[in-house]
Amino acid sequence: MLGTALSGIIILVQVAHASRGDSSNEYTGCYHICHFNNCSSSNDVAVYESSQSLSEKVLQWTCDDECRYNCMWQTTNVFVSRGYEVPQFFGKWPFVRVWGMQEPASVIFSVFNLLAHIIGLRRFRQSVPPFAPLYRLWQVHALICINAWTWSVIFHARDTPWTERMDYFCAFSMVLFSLFGLFVRLSGPRRWRRKEMIGVICGLFFTYHVWYLTRQKFDYGYNMKVNVLVGLLNGFGWISWAVPRVEKRPYARWCIFTVVGALSSMLLELGDFPPVFWAVDAHALWHLATAPLPFIWYKFLENDCLYLAQRGTGYDYKKQI
Ligand SMILES: [Zn+2]
């Protein structure tokens, strides 16, 4: 979906580097003591594992992770009691853990986005006849978005190098496929060879992107630049398509609203602040802000597919709904 595709850019700005919290003496001292006292023998680890809740086991929390989590809070309390600003740890704010989930608010708001796509896809299938032009294209895009938001839920529930990469790659797949969708929409009903060629180029570029980022240390800067570029092309491309058409086809306004909504929601990410109730930070709010956008986007797609179907056959499918 375009809204989430554009917004996907911002995820990539976050960089997992050492932060003030984890490089402080309070944190490093706490961690070493905790590790030595609780995780240095198999017996200690067995005692820790027996005390774990089911959700913590499922989300694969380890004894060391537990030390990191507890020391994060110990360090935060020290900073706050001394009147210092709330520190970040490994590029992230301290979040309270709920049922083993590291960033519960972002998990819930990612679920909202996921549900919005599932509902949007369902409505699209109910409203648009399967033989309408671009029917399959937008179904594939919806599935790509559902996959991406599933990984966003997983990543915010448990941040590991693997889940982080999957979140980034799947977010990029949304942005890139939306751009491909724009090319297909601009190409008109024929020109299959050109569409196939663009599809192959997009596929090859995605493969290169993933290969480049997995073969060495993750290059956050490159990843961000590529996503910003593809995202902006996408947003401005769709706006340039919709604005001249909105007078004759009022439904094109849903496309404009989605792009404007997606771009505006990105502003939330600029205001980085410590999490409210130790759960809701700017990133979580951004996920909340993008959740209604799929409804508007699918409304646009539905109307556009019906318009194309009507134009192609001279039959008004919308009257049959
Ligand atoms: Zn996120």
pLDDT above 80 for 52? yes
Same domain for 202 and 251? yes
What's residue 302's pLDDT?
Answer: 95
160: left (phi over 0), alpha (psi -120 to 50) or beta: beta
How far is the centre of ligand 1, averaged over its atoms, from the C-alpha of 195 (Å)? Answer: 31
Residue 92 belongs to a domain: no
How far is the centre of ligand 1, averaged over its atoms, from the C-alpha of 88 (Å)? Answer: 17
CA dist., res. 247 & res. 253, Å (int): 9
Q: Lowest-confidence range among 66-75, 179-188, 231-240, 267-276?
A: 267-276
Same domain for 77 and 128? no
Backbone Cα Rg of the chain: 23
Q: Lowest-confidence range among 141-150, 296-305, 310-319?
A: 310-319
Bridge partners of 89?
Answer: 92
Range of the domain at 45: 25-81
101 φ, ψ (degrees, to nearest 5): -85, 130
Same domain for 43 and 190? no
Nearest to 5 by CA among 104, 115, 113: 113
Task: Give the three-class secondary structure for 101.
Answer: strand
Residue 90 belongs to a domain: no
Residue 91 belongs to a domain: no
Same domain for 197 and 266? yes
What percent of the chain is modeled with pLDDT above 90?
Answer: 51
Residue 89 belongs to a domain: no
Same domain for 53 and 171? no
Bridge partners of 101?
Answer: 98
The CATH number linked to 212 is 1.20.1070
Number of Cα atoms under 13 Å in the Cβ half of residue 143: 6
pLDDT tens for each residue of 193-230: 788 888 899 999 999 999 989 887 888 888 889 988 99
CA dist., res. 90 & res. 23, Å (int): 9
What's residue 47's pLDDT?
Answer: 79
How far is the centre of ligand 1, averaged over its atoms, from the C-alpha of 303 (Å)? Answer: 30
CA dist., res. 45 & res. 82, Å (int): 34
Same domain for 116 and 228? yes
What are 217's two structure tokens?
């240390």
How far is the centre of ligand 1, averaged over its atoms, from the C-alpha of 152 (Å)? Answer: 6
What's residue 285's pLDDT?
Answer: 92
> Does the global pTM surpass 0.75?
yes
pLDDT above 70 for 8? no
Residue 220 belongs to a domain: yes
Residue 287 belongs to a domain: yes
CA dist., res. 1 & res. 301, Å (int): 10
